[in-house]
Each structure stands twice: as structure tokens, then as C-alpha cells.
Amino acid sequence: MLNTERPSAQHRELDRYADERLIAALVDDQRHAVAAVAAAQTDLARAVEAAVPRLRGGGRLVYVGAGTSGRLGLLDSVELPPTFSWPPQRALALLAGGQRAMFEAIEGAEDRADQGALDIDRLPVNKQDVVLLIAASGTTPYVIGALRAARRRGALTIALANNPGTPIVMEADIGIVLDTGSEVISGSTRLKAGTAQKIALNTLSSAMMVRLNKVFGNLMVDVNPSNAKLYRRALDLTIGATGCSEDLARTTLEACGCRVKVAIVAILGDLGVAEAATRLDGVDGSVRAALNRRPIR
């Protein structure tokens, strides 16, 4: 029996707990999710190291999953464009059952290995792409079909599963095990197994974006200020990185189309926004490298 499906030895009378004790049991069990991701840090780092050159060369991030795992992958994919100005056409998600499965359970869709392969072929995935395959069980046919098709096409395959020794972990180029064990509500992998997947996906994609020069220090300097909240964030990031006044930050951002990295380089490097943008283009968007080319005031 898979670890995630094994009945938990704890809380056998969970349904009889008073509310406070019930909440405490559910919250406490989530702590194992963090521990499971921490135990996988070496493999997570290997995945980032392998993925970044392909992404730098124009590859796409393709998330594949079913049910909770698929929805978590889609969530990670849609957050990359506003957070890091990652092109939306390079952050794709495949769900068993199609996009409708985001909002309702499409029973039986996860059992279609042939559909997983077909969805990969329809993109089509290529050798520059990075395919993230997510399945708590590690045995989901739809995900296995997608994995095998992606490998045939030469893509880098990275698997996330909550059970060791399972097909997607063993067959992927890099298999990452998030061994969360049995669930407090037995078999409900939307609980700590899903939490561990969310943490791991956040960690992977954020680390990739750091390596792709989307971050300066620990500041999210490639944000796409597409609404009032994000415009305010762009202002605060510019001020925080440069120590300039709000007026100068606002004027510079308006002059460069609200590109925070350009504003930072222009202000710290005492440059016009056009020259700041050119310098960034010449160093693959690295704020630090662009600034090192000219003494800072």
C-alpha cells in the first residue's frame, strides 16, 4: 500500500474530537509537509540547476497533473507572469480532464495515459522545455503517459510525488520524493501531501526565477504592475532598492514603462532609462551585472 493511502495510526477517533482538538490535529499534521520538502532539498536544487539553462534558452515550464496536484501546478503557472513578468506562453499547465477540471472533478480522466501523451504531443513539447509532473501517488496514468511522451521528445522531466519508488519518480530525469506518509484523514492527499507539493512548486519556480535574474537581492524586481496594488509595489521596490524619493521613483518608472529593473539601474547608475535598458539587455537582465559596469553614485 502506498504511504499516502495507508491508514494513519493516529487520531483513530477523529470524528469524536471536540472542535478545538479537531483543528489542532489537522493543523499539527501539516507540519510534516515542511519536513518532507526540507528532506528533498538536494533533489530540488538538482532540478533548478538542470532546468535553468533550458529556460534561459527559451524553453517553457509545463506543469502536468490530475486533481489536486494538477490544480496546484496550474496555480503555480498562472502566478509566474504577474510576479516575475514570465511570458504566459512559457508557463503552461496540463490537467487531466482539461481546463474544466480546474473547477470540477472529471472522474476517470486521470486514468487516461494515452490522453496524457496526446496532450504533450499537441503542445508540442521539445528538448528546450521543462516538464513538471505532479502526482501524490506517483502512479497516476495520465501523468505517466505525459512523462513518457515528454521524455521521447527530449524535454527535461522533473517529477514530484509523495511516495518513494513509484513510476514517475523512477522514470523522470529528476525524481523528487515528498514523503509525507499517511494522512490524518486517511487517503485524503489534498491535505499534507498537497501542502508539500505547493511548497515544493513555490520553491522550484521561485528559485528558477532568481537564477533567471528576476530578483535583485531579495526584491521581486521583475514584477508586472498590472493593477494598483502591483504599481504601488513597483514604487516600493524601486524606493527600497535605491533609497530614492517617491517622486523620483514615480518619474523614473513612468519614463521606462514601469519596468522596475530599468528604474533601479537608471537611478543607481545615474543613467537615462534607455541606456539602463540597453545595459540590462546586454547582461541577460541582471541588475547586479548592469550596475557593475558603471560606478554607482
- Say how far apart CA 138 and CA 169 lie, in whole Å: 7
- Say how far apart CA 99 and CA 133 lie, in whole Å: 17
Q: What is the pLDDT confidence band of residue 294, given thresholds at 50, 70 and 90?
A: low
Identify the burial level of 211 via C-beta atoms within 10 angstroms of its C-beta, where 0-12 means exposed, 13-18 middle and 19 or more buried. middle
Q: How far is CA 283 from CA 52, 56, 217, 259, 297, in A?
A: 16, 12, 16, 16, 20
Q: What is the pLDDT confidence band of residue 297, given thresholds at 50, 70 and 90?
A: very low
Three-state SS for 93?
Answer: strand
* pLDDT recorded at residue 58: 96
Catalytic residue of the set 5, 20, 79, 171: 79
Phi-psi region at 58: left, alpha or beta (left = phi > 0; alpha = psi -120 to 50): left
State the DSSP H helix or E strand holding residue 176, giving kind and residue range, or none if neither: strand 174-177
CB 194 within 8 A of CB 169: no
CB 203 within 8 A of CB 20: no
Structural domains for the chain: 3-211 (3.40.50.10490), 228-292 (1.10.8.1080)
* pLDDT recorded at residue 9: 87
CB 168 within 8 A of CB 143: yes
Q: What is the pLDDT confidence band of residue 1, given thresholds at 50, 70 and 90?
A: confident
Catalytic residue of the set 5, 104, 110, 275: 110
- Say how far apart CA 200 and CA 209 lie, in whole Å: 14
Residue that is written with C-alpha cell 541582471 in the block:
286
Query: Is residue 110 flagged as an active site residue?
Result: yes
Query: Is residue 254 flagged as an active site residue?
Result: no
Question: Tens digits of per-residue pLDDT, 108-147?
Answer: 889 899 999 999 999 999 999 999 999 999 999 999 999 9
161 pLDDT above the threshold of 50: yes
Question: Tens digits of per-residue pLDDT, 24-46?
Answer: 999 999 999 999 999 999 999 99
Question: Tens digits of per-residue pLDDT, 56-68?
Answer: 999 999 999 999 9
